Amino acid sequence: MGSWGTALASVAAASGREVRLWGRREALAETMRRTGQNPDYLPDTPLPDGIEPTSELAYALDGAEAVLIVTPSSSLREMCGHMRPHLAAGTPLALCCKGIERHTGYLLSHLVEEELPGHPVGALSGPTFARETALGHPTAATIAFEFRYTDRLEPDRSPAARLSVSMSSASFRPYMSDDLVGVEVGGAVKNVIAIACGMMTGAGFAENTRAALITRGIDEMKVLAEALGGKRETVTGLSGAGDLTLTCSSTTSRNMSLGVQLGEGKTRAECFDGKDVVVEGEISAASVVELARRIGVSMPICEAVHAILYDGANLDQTFVDLWARPIESEPRALELELVHPAAMPEA
């Protein structure tokens, strides 16, 4: 019953759906039932009618026509095991968390397909801060499922179409996609790029730097998505460029906030006032770089964030080195690379 799960429950309920919202803590579920709010994660945000908070997973999944999975990526495999006995055959599952599993290099949809075979698996992703979404601010997102042959014959009956209609309201506008890989890659990589933007912001740099990191970060998304079979153009949509722009624009994002604090010179232990805050981009910095190295994809911004977070690299020098890499061409088809003068040894 975190902020994003609660926000999505609000969207579905506002669209006229019956919603069961599951969380581990019965005390919080009881408070939400009594007050109509989630005081721990979305305080002062009234919830619409039609949401039934519960800590009983079997009850939450009983009769569900679709399931939105909003657990942190690091505990997703464990969560699938808990869900397995209670899911009806063929129930569509939409991932609302973002990342790549460490060591296996699996996109989260591949992980779920392995743990919960026989279910259509998709993703809901886009530029969506939870509080604004729950308050009914106009919001757009992408809902992606792979389209099977039968989905091509009757696209309006596909899981992507049915869930998009179910989640649509006067304020929430979904767009449908058949490029699940591209959508997932955008969601995983954007969190890492947001940490980079935060680091440079915290170090005292401003809009030029942020715009450069966003633009080149999108290129890193495109290269990885294409290498994994996704479409480059998906990354220019809501789940890529849209989500990245939002996440890099405000410390409302935990990823941006972590970067800012590190850029200001705080140690990781000092960030968030010492609280144990899960930051998805911190996890993705490891898994994205592991995957990129395995398949031979160059992702220098993600590599820089990884070096700072996991290798103890100096933040200032790492970004100096990032800017002094060989001068490349844009577009890539020009295939030209020159030594950057800043990287040349002094005479």
Consult the annotation and say whether 139 binds a ligand.
Answer: no
Q: Mark 210-220 as b/e (b = at least 16 C-beta within 10 Å).
A: beebbebbbbb
Q: How far apart are CA 122 and CA 69, in angstroms?
A: 10
Query: Quick one: which of 145, 149, 233, 152 has its CA closest to 186?
Result: 233
Asked if 155 contacts 147 with a C-beta cutoff of 8 angstroms, the reply is yes
Consult the annotation and say whether 15 binds a ligand.
Answer: no
Consult the annotation and say whether 222 binds a ligand.
Answer: no
Consult the annotation and say whether 130 binds a ligand.
Answer: yes
Asked if 261 contacts 202 with a C-beta cutoff of 8 angstroms, the reply is yes
Query: Quick one: which of 52, 279, 14 has its CA closest to 139?
Result: 14
Consult the annotation and say whether 41 binds a ligand.
Answer: yes
Q: How far apart are CA 133 and CA 48, in angstroms?
A: 13
Q: Report the SS3 class of residue 229.
A: coil
Consult the annotation and say whether 255 binds a ligand.
Answer: yes
Q: How far apart are CA 262 and CA 198, in angstroms?
A: 8
Asked if 68 contacts 35 with a C-beta cutoff of 8 angstroms, the reply is no
Consult the annotation and say whether 3 binds a ligand.
Answer: yes
Consult the annotation and say whether 52 binds a ligand.
Answer: no
Consult the annotation and say whether 106 binds a ligand.
Answer: no
| 124 φ/ψ angles, rounded to the nearest 5 degrees | -115, 120
Q: How far apart are CA 263 and CA 274, in angstroms?
A: 16
- In the numeric block, the tokens 């389209």 are attached to 147
- On the 0-12 / 13-18 / 19+ scale of CB atoms within 10 A, 205 is middle
Consult the annotation and say whether 250 binds a ligand.
Answer: no
| 109 φ/ψ angles, rounded to the nearest 5 degrees | -65, -35
Consult the annotation and say whether 149 binds a ligand.
Answer: no
**How many residues does this entry show for the chain?**
347
Asked if 213 contacts 193 with a C-beta cutoff of 8 angstroms, the reply is yes
Consult the annotation and say whether 25 binds a ligand.
Answer: yes
Consult the annotation and say whether 65 binds a ligand.
Answer: no
Q: Which residues are catalytic?
A: 190
Q: How far apart are CA 255 and CA 213, in angstroms?
A: 14
Consult the annotation and say whether 98 binds a ligand.
Answer: yes
Binding-site residue positions: 3-4, 24-25, 41, 98, 126, 128, 130, 190, 243, 253-255, 278, 280
Binding-site residue positions for NAD(+): 130, 254
Binding-site residue positions for NADPH: 3-4, 24-25, 41, 98, 130, 254, 278, 280
Binding-site residue positions for sn-glycerol 3-phosphate: 98, 126, 128, 190, 243, 253-255
Binding-site residue positions for substrate: 98, 254-255
